[in-house]
């Protein structure tokens, strides 16, 4: 066993120590879910009640998969194929003994196992507010919050246009956008979806002036970049560049002044050593422009245009020496010079200062308008729920009674996919653990892989993984562990990926740029065959030719290896349409998730309504659509009776009681189906959404309502798409 494999084995053993908190980097195929499951089982043997261990995931699919693994382990329903399987069963047996001794009754109440998504946990906290503040939350998640953002932005501008106190800031911002009301509305609406990032920093809420904070951030960025450039370029190169700059500044003295000439003029009479500080930024930028052409390439020669004329022997010699050094620069050093060339002065211009203050005023108003609209509509978005959850835990910077109660009830927290945490989610973890301290018996276990972070569009910040690994979370220090073995891929593929991606990733983590280093893996499946092959298609063939070549390869694999599955990945759905057509022409069967519109197919509409209904009791349209669907089949008069009864309530609440006025047929249909629907809604967190929808659909007799085989195939496509969406 290699050193890396041995270190991997030690890390997996250490991860089960219930006394300490850990942050685990687990690359693709490293058995992350197995480690999480084992840690969860181990912790259950140390607590008085199972609710004291909380496992948080970011998708329903992940929560369902982990819950399923834990339940199968507790039921002994695991085939032992590896040492890890044997260890999982051993831990599960210990949990069963501990649970029996304490009378947990897990076999009758699996819901006591707290494995849930962070969104559902936020909703639980938000809806627990009546217990602490006397005011409820009670709002559902809007299907299209973008519409509410646009409405809030529109109301903000209407109010600002007529309010004398706000008209000045409104007009100042509008002028900067060429008096385009629609553009300003769209910009504010787009900002509202990301308000968790900027709202706490507005001076009206933070209590600190905005512009000085921005300038300080700029100064920090400039210093860090100049320090990095100094280390990368080396003192000899910088010294030679300084000599070139002094000569060039003297020779170009008296030229027309522009930004480039102004920076170079800073070298006139400057004899001190160049330092990585913001005061020297103009001189650094001048060095960058002397070193690089306008397209960012190192200069092959320097001429009179740069201030080094050929008729000056000393200047010519200096230019030649500098050109030789520029030729030796590597890609990292060239990148450093490019960055220097675009660094801004860390001072916000006076005109921009007023605009920033005006923008802060409008944004604060837009956030207030959005809250008002949420209250009126009885809907909200995930950031609103997250904010309400934190409010339920903290008041006036002190823990609320709910937080104190949770503090005594939650002893251990496990977090999956930590690299994808947004600021909201990170702050929730900080709030949950605000009174934890090292050695008090409570632990935090976070696992993820910064190399797989793909949720920047959801405000995830991968750099946070490195920050927490180095500095901990609040007062909690987390011991770093790395899983290095890959149990998924053939050795040849693992080695190929290690070789390729170490060239793509940076050499070291850079928190501010959200850049992470590559962590090579060790192949654990020695007997697995397979190797990467690259196929080139002539550029003259175009997309159609590429699709034909791909389809021919796939058809060949399908003929020679019919027992194996084949996946086709592409950068966009449009890239796959031509391949789909080419496969169809060759008679190769395929499933194309999300490649064709499904919304117009009746069976898909019924399944979508079922998925939405099981998601929220407040979605009246979805619940009524389910009751009208063929697998329930209420008549329109019966549906009208239920809709009227649910006017001041929800459809599930009406179904839970007696309903007067239904036809005998309607009563019979509800007796057959409502128990199943209500039970599925109450247990919606216990399994992945696609699995739940499929199970309920089958139990209601949904497949029997499909008249053609193609409808069943379309239903399967929808369920696959639903499953993919939750990944």
CATH fold match for the domains 3-117+398-487 and 602-725: no
pLDDT at res. 23: 95
CATH code of the domain made up of 3-117+398-487: 3.40.50.300
Q: Are the CB atoms for 680 and 614 separated by under 8 Å?
A: yes
Q: Are the CB atoms for 486 and 522 separated by under 8 Å?
A: yes
Write the DSSP symbol of residue 298: B
Share of the chain above pLDDT 70, in %: 93
- Strands 394-395 and 379-380, by their bridges, are unpaired
Write the DSSP symbol of residue 183: H
Q: Which residue has the tokens 């929560």?
A: 63
Residue 133: band (very low, low, confident or very high) from pLDDT cuts 50, 70, 90: very low
Measured CA to CA, the distance from residue 152 to residue 371 in angstroms comes to: 9
Phi-psi region of 460 (alpha: psi -120 to 50; beta: other; left: phi over 0): beta
Task: Please give the model's pTM, rounded to 2 decimal places.
Answer: 0.71
What's the chain's length in residues?
A: 727
Q: Looking at the predicted structure, is the pLDDT value of residue 415 above 60?
A: yes
Q: Looking at the predicted structure, is the pLDDT value of residue 710 above 70?
A: no
The count of C-alpha atoms lying within 13 angstroms of the C-alpha of 300, restricted to the half-sphere facing its C-beta, is 1
Measured CA to CA, the distance from residue 64 to residue 575 in angstroms comes to: 32
Phi-psi region of 400 (alpha: psi -120 to 50; beta: other; left: phi over 0): beta
Measured CA to CA, the distance from residue 343 to residue 331 in angstroms comes to: 19
| Longest pairwise C-alpha distance within the chain | 107
- CB under 8 Å to 145, separation ≥6 — which residues? 193, 379, 380, 381
Residue 522 β-bridge partners: 485
Which span out of 429-433, 482-486, 527-531 was modeled with the highest average pLDDT? 482-486
The more confident residue out of 78 and 454 is 78
The more confident residue out of 409 and 348 is 348
What are the sequence ranges of the domains in the chain? Answer: 3-117+398-487, 145-193+349-380, 213-342, 539-585, 602-725
Share of the chain above pLDDT 90, in %: 30
Mean pLDDT of the chain: 85
602-725 fold? PCRA; domain 4 (1.10.486)
Nearest alpha carbon to residue 172 among 354, 333, 316, 9:
354
Q: Are the CB atoms for 647 and 615 separated by under 8 Å?
A: no
Nearest alpha carbon to residue 614 among 674, 684, 670:
684
Note the pLDDT tens digit of each residue in 238-296. Answer: 999 999 999 999 988 876 566 778 888 899 888 888 889 999 999 999 999 999 999 89
The count of C-alpha atoms lying within 13 angstroms of the C-alpha of 695, restricted to the half-sphere facing its C-beta, is 15
């Amino acid at each position: 066993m290699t050193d890396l494999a041995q270190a991997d084995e030690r890390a997996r053993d250490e991860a089960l120590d219930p006394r300490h908190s850990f942050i685990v980097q687990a690359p693709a195929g490293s058995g992350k879910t197995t480690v999480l499951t084992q840690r969860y089982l181990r912790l259950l043997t140390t607590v008085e009640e199972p609710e004291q261990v909380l496992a948080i995931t970011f998708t329903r699919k992940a929560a369902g998969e982990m819950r399923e693994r834990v339940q199968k382990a507790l039921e002994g329903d695991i085939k032992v194929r590896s040492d890890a399987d044997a260890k999982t069963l051993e831990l599960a047996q210990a949990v069963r003994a501990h649970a029996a001794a304490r009378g947990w009754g897990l076999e009758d109440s699996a819901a006591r196992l707290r494995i849930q998504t962070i969104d559902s946990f936020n909703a639980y906290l938000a809806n627990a507010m009546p217990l602490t503040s006397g005011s409820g939350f009670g709002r559902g998640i809007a299907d299209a919050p973008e519409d509410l953002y646009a409405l809030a932005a529109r109301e903000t501008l209407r109010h600002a246009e007529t309010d004398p106190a706000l008209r000045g800031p409104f007009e100042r911002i509008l002028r900067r956008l060429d008096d385009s009301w629609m553009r300003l509305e769209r910009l504010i609406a787009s900002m509202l979806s990301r308000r968790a990032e900027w709202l706490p920093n507005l001076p009206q809420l933070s209590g600190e002036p905005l512009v000085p904070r921005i300038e300080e951030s700029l100064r920090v960025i400039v210093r860090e970049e100049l320090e990095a450039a100094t280390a990368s370029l080396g003192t000899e190169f910088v010294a030679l560049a300084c000599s070139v700059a002094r000569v060039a500044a003297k020779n170009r003295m008296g030229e027309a002044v522009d930004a480039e000439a102004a920076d170079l003029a800073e070298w006139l009479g400057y004899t001190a050593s160049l330092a990585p500080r913001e005061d020297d930024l103009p001189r650094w930028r001048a060095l960058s422009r002397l070193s690089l052409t306008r397209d960012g390439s190192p200069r092959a020669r320097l001429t009179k245009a740069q201030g080094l004329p050929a008729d000056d022997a000393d200047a010519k010699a200096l230019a030649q020496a500098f050109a030789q050094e520029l030729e030796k620069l590597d890609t990292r050093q060239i990148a450093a010079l490019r960055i220097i060339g675009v660094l801004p002065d860390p001072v916000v211009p006076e005109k921009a200062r007023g605009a920033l203050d005006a923008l802060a005023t409008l944004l604060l108003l837009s956030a207030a308008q959005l809250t008002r609209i949420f209250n009126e509509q009885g809907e909200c978005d995930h950031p609103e729920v997250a904010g309400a959850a934190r409010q339920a835990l903290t008041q006036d910077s002190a823990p609320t009674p709910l937080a104190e109660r949770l503090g005594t009830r939650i002893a251990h927290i496990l977090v999956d996919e930590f690299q994808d945490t947004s600021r909201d989610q990170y702050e929730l973890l900080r709030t949950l653990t605000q009174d934890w301290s090292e050695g008090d018996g409570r632990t935090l276990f976070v696992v993820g892989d910064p190399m797989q972070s793909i949720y920047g569009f959801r405000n995830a910040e991968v750099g946070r993984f490195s920050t927490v690994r180095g500095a901990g979370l609040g007062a909690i220090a987390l011991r770093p562990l790395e899983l290095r073995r890959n149990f998924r891929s053939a050795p040849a593929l693992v080695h190929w990926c290690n070789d390729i991606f170490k060239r793509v990733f940076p050499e070291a983590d850079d928190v501010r740029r959200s850049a992470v280093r590559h962590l090579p893996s060790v192949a654990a499946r020695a007997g697995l065959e397979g190797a990467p092959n690259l196929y080139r298609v002539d550029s003259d063939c175009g997309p159609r030719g590429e699709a034909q070549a791909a389809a021919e390869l796939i058809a060949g694999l399908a003929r020679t290896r019919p027992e194996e599955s084949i996946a086709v990945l592409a950068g966009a759905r449009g890239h796959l349409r031509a391949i789909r057509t080419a496969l169809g022409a060759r008679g190769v069967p395929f499933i194309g998730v999300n490649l064709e519109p499904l919304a117009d197919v009746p069976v898909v509409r019924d399944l979508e309504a079922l998925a939405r209904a099981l998601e929220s009791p407040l979605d009246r349209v979805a619940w009524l659509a389910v009751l009208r669907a063929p697998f329930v089949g209420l008549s329109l008069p019966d549906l009208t009776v239920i809709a009227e009864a649910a006017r001041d309530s929800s459809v599930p609440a009406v179904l839970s009681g007696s309903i007067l006025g239904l036809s005998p047929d309607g009563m019979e249909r509800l007796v057959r189906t409502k128990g199943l629907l209500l039970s599925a809604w109450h247990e919606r967190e216990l399994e992945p959404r696609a699995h739940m929808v499929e199970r309920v659909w089958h139990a209601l007799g949904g497949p029997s309502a499909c008249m053609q085989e193609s409808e069943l195939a379309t239903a399967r496509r929808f369920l696959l798409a639903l499953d993919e969406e939750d990944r």
